[in-house]
Amino acid sequence: MMMGAQAGDFYRDCDLTWGGQRAKISEGGQLLTLSLDRYSGSGFQSKNEYLFGRIDMQLKLVPGNSAGTVTTYYLSSQGPTHDEIDFEFLGNLSGNPYIVHTNVFTQGKGNREQQFYLWFDPTKAFHTYSILWNPQRILFLVDNVPIREFVNKESMGVPFPNKQAMRIYSSLWNADDWATMGGRVKTDWTQSPFTASYRNFNANGCAWSSVKSSCASTTTTSSTTSSDNTWQTQALDASGRQRLEWVQKKFMIYNYCTDLKRFPQGLPPECKN
């Protein structure tokens, strides 16, 4: 079963799903662009579904005045009790930082938002955004720097996404009712079309087919070498833990685990160390 194979080929690995000509694959499958205008946004999804894996994607976000726009890149299953692991990039006025919004849904319930600024301008060059999802934890990484960890705490009664295969989705759409300054700053359509660019998509994981995982077999194909399967048991080492703490101390701007107003009955159990 293919598990991401060679360097990303969007023709091979993805389907353009909506937005008509606003979603385009070029450069022989190496580049994908999504555009948004006042009539529609656009999106794509992976051909494969996965139950655990490491997903890497390089993105260059909408430049200039991107207020009101949202670029999403996430894993999701289907149905009312879906699981989901989200990166959302909330546009802003020129010169102001993008907000990286993260969330984890299990069995249809989210409300686990953490938000960050970045330590670079994500519109000037491509940067790698990764989701590592194994049975023990979920890691959100930016240029291989961990920004968030969601640990499996099923033993404490916290649901963890480990039973539903998920597809990779991405979209660029207008959300000016909430995306920028809580909806106070609207999309400036004179700046459209807005365009986000993608390259080097690599899904190194357990592809799911006919209710069976490719990782159930004794041999697993990986994108380069067998060492690529380290994601299956990967955890943060001491330096990874330090980098996570650095990001959360300097760049985190919202953490549901400290929002006492939102949880007057007490913080969710996974928030307690």
Catalytic residues: 84, 88
Q: Which two tokens stand for residue 212?
A: 């069976």
Exposure b/e, 20-44, CB count within 10 A at least 16 = b: eebbbbeeebbbbbbbbeeeebbbb
Would you say 87 and 94 are in contact if contact means Cβ atoms under 8 Å apart?
A: no
Distance between CA atoms of residues 16 and 26, nearest Å: 12
What are the contacts of 257-260 at 24+ separation with CB within 8 A? 257/114
> Residue 272: how many CB atoms within 10 A of its CB?
10
Distance between CA atoms of residues 122 and 125, nearest Å: 6
Instruction: Report DSSP state, residue 136.
Output: S
Q: Which two tokens stand for residue 111?
A: 């409300």
What are the φ and ψ backbone dihedral angles of 193, each rounded to 5 degrees? -75, 145
Would you say 204 and 215 are in contact if contact means Cβ atoms under 8 Å apart?
A: no
Q: Which two tokens stand for residue 162?
A: 């480990």
- The number of residues making up the chain comes to 273
